Amino acid sequence: MRDYIIITDSTTDLPASYAKENNLVVIPMKFNLDGTEYLNYLDEHEMSNKDFYDAERAGKIAKTAQLSQFDIESVYRKYLDLGYDILGIGFSSGLSGTFNSMRLAKEELEEEYKDAKILIIDSLCASLGEGLFVYYAVENKKKGLNITENGDNLLHLRPHLCHWFTVSSLETLRRGGRVSNITAFVADTLNIKPVLHVDDAGHLIAMRKTMGRKRSLIALVDRLVETINRDEPQMIMIGHGDCLEDANFVAQEVKKHIEVKDVLINCIGPVIGAHSGPGTLALFFVGSKR
């Protein structure tokens, strides 16, 4: 049986060191900041996450673009030529058209590489939620699961991969059309902090409102405590929009309530950050339901 390689995109927001250690192929997504286009590499070599968030705080506007069919085909073809099958994991179709580009690339390449297996999965996840999904794909491969077994396992996992997050301000979500002008103005004026999650279809949903930043962070932990799968200690991932102190606070609160395998904290990259803004704090884990 042919070996397979896991290919994903940079909205996973995983550390570059993790991708390198686990032989992950990560396609960089594109973002535009004040008219200049950049590629979002995990190692931040075109723009650091810190510089990106400082630019947002200074009022610069960031926009993003989905990966094209050509972007994906060119990467897939490289590994198909090396004799690999491909397990492709994509950014939520509920938030981006990138997965449709993956589907088109798969259809085109299957005509050309008839002996190869190309399995693509819509993660229905974003940021380190997608990163956690990829983490389980990597762990499955380490356990010896073949590409089909790995894909089946991931599809079973997908409805249980929880995303809970809050934002410091609704301004970036307002600019992206996620909330109305009035909602953003009232919330920011009254210091109301929303608690949001990504639903079963991979869409962004507002769930509740809290007064003040600390309460919103504790509300994320409360959701974890209520729904986390406690069969065994698990990997918890925390993403932050240049607010590491808050991420460390949430990690400490999580550890007060449950036994964990590990906690991975990493900065949310520019592609997701363009829509969520500075001060975003996100918590990802496997639960009884999303």
Query: Across residues 107-121, what is the average pLDDT?
Result: 97
Query: Across residues 223-228, what is the average pLDDT?
Result: 95
- Look at residue 198 in the predicted model and tell me its pLDDT: 74
Domain with CATH 3.40.50.10170 in the chain: 4-158
Topology adopted by domain 4-158: Rossmann fold (3.40.50)
Domain with CATH 3.30.1180.10 in the chain: 160-286
- What amino acid is encoded at 59 in this protein? G
Q: Evaluate if residue 7 carries a pLDDT over 90.
A: yes
Topology adopted by domain 160-286: Hypothetical Protein Tm841; Chain: A;domain 3 (3.30.1180)
DSSP 80: H
| CA count, 13 A, side-chain hemisphere, 180 | 3
Is 116 in contact with 108 (CB distance < 8 Å)?
no
- With a pLDDT cut of 70, the percent of the chain lying above it is 86
Query: Across residues 105-110, what is the average pLDDT?
Result: 97
- Look at residue 281 in the predicted model and tell me its pLDDT: 95
Please state, in angstroms and rounded to a whole number, the distance separating the CA atoms of residues 13 and 7. 14
pTM of this structure: 0.90
The mean of the pLDDT values for the chain is 89
- With a pLDDT cut of 90, the percent of the chain lying above it is 77
- Look at residue 180 in the predicted model and tell me its pLDDT: 45
How are strands ordered across the β-sheet holding 281-286? 204-211, 192-198, 161-166, 281-286, 235-240, 262-267
Q: 173 pLDDT band (50/70/90 cuts)?
A: low
- Look at residue 10 in the predicted model and tell me its pLDDT: 97
Is 66 in contact with 94 (CB distance < 8 Å)?
no
Residue 184 vs residues 226, 263, 270: alpha-carbon distances, Å: 28, 32, 21
Q: Evaluate if residue 75 carries a pLDDT over 50.
A: yes
